[in-house]
Amino acid sequence: MDGANVAEMGAWRARNRIILQNRNQGMKRTMNQMNQDKNQNQKQNAFFGRKTGRSKHRTGTAGTVGRITKKGQPGSVWERMKALLHIRRHLSQTQFIVYGFFGIILTGTLLLMLPISNRGGDSLGFINCLFTATSATCVTGLIAADTWSQWSLFGQLVIITMIQIGGLGFITIGVFISIVLRRKIGLKERGLMQESVNTLQIGGVVRLAKKIIQGTAVIEGVGALLLAIRFVPEVGLLKGVYYGIFHSISAFCNAGFDLMGFREPYSSLTYYYDDWLVNLTIMSLIVIGGIGFVVWDDIARHGLKFRKYMLHTKIVLVTTGILLFGGAFLFFILERNNLLVGMNLSGKVWTSLFSSVTARTAGFNTTDTAALTDGSKLLTIILMFIGGSPGSTAGGIKTTTLVVLLLNIRANIGQTYGVNIGNRRLEDDAVRQASLIMITNLTLTLLASLWLVALQPDLLMSDVLFETFSAMGTVGMSTGITRALLPASRIALIVLMFCGRVGSLSSALAFTQSKKKPPVMQPVERITVG
């Protein structure tokens, strides 16, 4: 073999060695990646307590969280956190908010079951504590036991904390904490904030969160100070200040929880029916908390220049004014020969106004709700069903939903194109969503009413409807049947309160997945409607 052939053979062998080395390195990288994926799957499976086949680690028994190594040591917290973050990335914004509220309710339930939360040390039981925690977190006000008589100071603090979190939304509070800690707020967090407070656009939500927390602190602080002026002379300095803070938070968040049980259990604010300071302060807090955070921001930017307000703000303010004063006038007419008999003119005016305001998802009462006439009960049910405004602490189908539905009826009767108001045309999606919200809320409420009547046929239908509409609207007013309900009936109200706060559509969407539009749709066929 000559020198040229030897050189060519050496080069060929060198190329083959390089190719084999690259192939071996690629196979090693592939095997390493497969091992890493396998280890990651084993860690995730171990976090949920599932068997992982021929793994070097074995999981614990049912109910054990984390994995157990051969040495019996639990898996690291960091591994569990990574698994939770993996789950978080697969949750939609709606699902995260719904599950977040559910977690807060469960935490509050466990805290209320502690002996330290109860005055006598005896727990009310899981169902009653769950009912109270749901009512507080969903800012409703329906109670299984008198708040002052049953719960200790610790239990009351747990309740008022859940009210504050439920009223503002845990997303808003979380964003504000991130602002204070100067942490970066990503697009996902901004999207959650937008979904939580029902803003029209994602831009400026961080600034809005800061305004919400600061504005809430100022408004609740002023309300607490005004209420303390009345409570301090009655119960002393410390208790008076504490009662002022508690009732200010409860009123602003439209919760309806009170501590007036020291006078008489379940008496609410009946001892202050003609007190202008208590009535005006509580009503102002309810209205301010119920108009919505977006409306706050619009008023703060444009002052009292009504023409510069957004269409949303104009609808909310006008509708709120009509419902409040119109409702007060109707209450005055319907109760003039009943509850208003024997009151002076000032007491009649304050009672009528308060009855109209509190029905907008607040839950306080200055009169005996059970003694209302049938007409007043029906009026209260209508106001409870409508509720407050979007992005607020109030519940109900919301004022804008009512306006959109009425405008849609007018447009169809007048045979006009589109739903128009204020030289603007509303989106078709707004009309569709308003119809879905009303039908869903009404259907859930009527089904719950049938459930209660079937379980407890001795209850009056008017009282049952009042109770279920109060729960769905997160109002908290009751004719007194809450304490007589069976556990199964209370579970139905728990579901209504949860759906009423989170949103009936959001609650349903949390358990469904969005589907893409199919490439081929079914053929159309006409049916007769109406």
Q: 3-class secondary structure for 404-419?
A: HHHHHHHHHHHCCCCC
Residues β-bridged to residue 58: 68
Using CA atoms, how far residue 135 sits from 43, 144, 496, 510, 520, in Å, is: 38, 10, 10, 20, 46
Helix or strand or coil: residue 421?
strand
**Can you give the pLDDT at residue 209?**
79
**pLDDT tens track for 376-408:** 999 999 999 999 888 888 889 999 999 999 999
% of the chain beyond a pLDDT of 90: 51
The rounded distance, in Å, linking the Cα atoms of 254 and 297 is 19
- ∠196-200-201 over CA atoms, to 5°? 90
Tell me the per-residue pLDDT of 436-450, one tens digit each, with 9 for 90 and over. 999 999 999 999 999
Least trusted range by pLDDT, from 32-36, 195-199, 431-435: 32-36
Q: Is the pLDDT of residue 66 over 50?
A: no
Query: How big is the chain by its Cα radius of gyration, in Å?
Result: 29
* 426 Cβ neighbours under 8 A, 6+ residues apart: 404, 407, 418, 419, 420
- The confidence band for 212, taking pLDDT boundaries of 50, 70 and 90, is confident
Cβ-in-10-Å burial (0-12, 13-18, 19+) of 121 comes to exposed
Q: 459-476 burial, b if ≥16 CB within 10 A, otherwise e?
A: beeebbbbbbbbbbbbbb
313 pLDDT tier (thresholds 50, 70, 90): very high
Tell whether the model's pLDDT for residue 4 goes beyond 70. no
* Distances, alpha carbon 182 to alpha carbons 156, 185, 187, in Å: 32, 9, 16
| pLDDT value of position 269 | 93
Lowest-pLDDT choice from 78-92, 225-239, 255-269, 457-471: 78-92
Q: Strand, helix or coil at 74?
A: strand
Contact criterion met (CB below 8 Å) for 174 and 222:
no
Q: Which residues contact 494 (CB under 8 A, 6 or more apart)?
A: 130, 131, 134
Tokens 């994602």 belong to residue: 202
Where would I find the H helices in 236-307?
Answer: 237-252, 276-290, 293-302
pLDDT, average across residues 78-90: 52
pLDDT of residue 478: 93
pLDDT at 201: 65
In the predicted model, what is the mean pLDDT of the chain?
82
Query: Read out DSSP for 16-29?
Result: HHHHHHHHHHHHHH
- Encoded amino acid at 15, one letter: R
Please give the pLDDT value at position 384.
95
211 exposed, middle or buried (CB, 10 Å; 0-12, 13-18, 19+)? middle
